Amino acid sequence: MATAELPLEDTLARPLRDLRISVTDRCQFRCTYCMPREVFGRDFAFLAREQLLTFEELARLARIFAGLGVRKLRLTGGEPLLRRDVDKLVAMLAGIDGISDIALTTNGALLARNAAALAAAGLRRVTVSLDSLDDAVFMALNDARFPVAKVLEAIGVAAGAGLAPVKVNMVVRRGVNDQSILPMAAHFRHTGHVLRFIEYMDVGTTNGWRLDDVVPAAEIISVVGGQWPLEPAAANYPGEVAARYRYTDGGGEIGVIASVTQPFCRGCTRARLSADGQLFTCLFGAAGHDLRGPLRAGATDQALRELVAGIWSRRADRYSEQRTSQTSRTKPRPKVEMSHIGG
């Protein structure tokens, strides 16, 4: 087993720097690329309350991860703001030595009413999902009849609370919302917020992914750059998943996350903790490593530290690099659903 001494690296010399913490597997949206209603319907069995890690358990594990090199935490879901009093968890995490950044990803539905409390608790940044400015397109994607205006209002409230610049994530799917690329870019230029286009990914096994539905990042950059010239910008930090581009007229920047056409596995420093305490070392992982069991069985911090270090040191994941054009034509291998580990 690997020692717990820093620097902790996996088999490809990738350090452990980022931890995404899912606080719930529930969401009030039924986005077609994440939680399609035909699968996550009225009878779907979500995690019971006793299966979820408590805030105290999450904070304890986050402290152990911080001791192994994690510096950034991101709260995810499902929809994390469905977890009651999540600002209290933020405050607990903000007090952990070594943690320099705490962020949260949300669909925006509950953000306006929670932004001030989250910022006061120590949240630094927020990412909001918004896949189109066209209500008909957006509602068809979120399948919850939630309007664009309320998401835009939430972005404004979050920025006013100090959670700025807001990152806005748009998952692009050919023939579904690719016509929204330019309107989205036009809207967020000169706002100070950062719009990020995400290639439609084959996360999980329920979203009907096909390679033909992917709009490549290069095409997205060509479309936006053809309207407003762009220039590449340097990464903000090692392992940043979004490739950055600046508008040459000073209109701000956009990002593209090209997990399908331009895999970035070799720079991945992320671990993911599901709401029920499973540690995943890849977004496309088939199975996690149980931390809740040892945690509730009385494992010491040192034992948990050694367990996590051993898991990371054996990590060899590089699914996106290994993905081929045959992925959608062959029997898919099992993969955890995005709603379980937060994307």
Per-residue pLDDT reduced to its tens digit, 208-252: 668 889 999 999 999 999 999 999 999 988 778 899 999 999 999
Tell whether 5 is covered by a domain. no
pLDDT in the model for residue 329: 45
Tell whether 2 is covered by a domain. no
pLDDT in the model for residue 281: 92
pLDDT in the model for residue 201: 83
The CATH number of residue 86's host domain is 3.20.20.70
- Residue 281 sits in which domain range? 18-341
Q: β-pairing, 253-257 with 18-22? A: unpaired
Tell whether 174 is covered by a domain. yes
Q: How confident is the model at residue 112 (pLDDT cuts 50, 70, 90)?
A: very high
CA distances from 104 to 74, 147, 213 (A): 5, 21, 28
Q: What is the phi-psi region of residue 284: left when phi exceeds 0, alpha when psi lies from -120 to 50, beta otherwise?
A: alpha
Tell whether 12 is covered by a domain. no
pLDDT digits (tens, 9 = 90+) for 272-328: 999 999 999 988 777 799 999 999 999 999 999 999 999 999 998 877 666 644 444
Q: What proportion of the chain, given as a percentage, has pLDDT over 90?
A: 78
Tell whether 74 is covered by a domain. yes
Sheet holding 101-106, edge to edge: 230-233, 243-247, 253-257, 194-199, 167-172, 125-129, 101-106, 72-76, 18-22, 270-273, 278-280, 289-290
Tell whether 240 is covered by a domain. yes
What is the count of structural domains for the chain? Answer: 1
Tell whether 316 is covered by a domain. yes
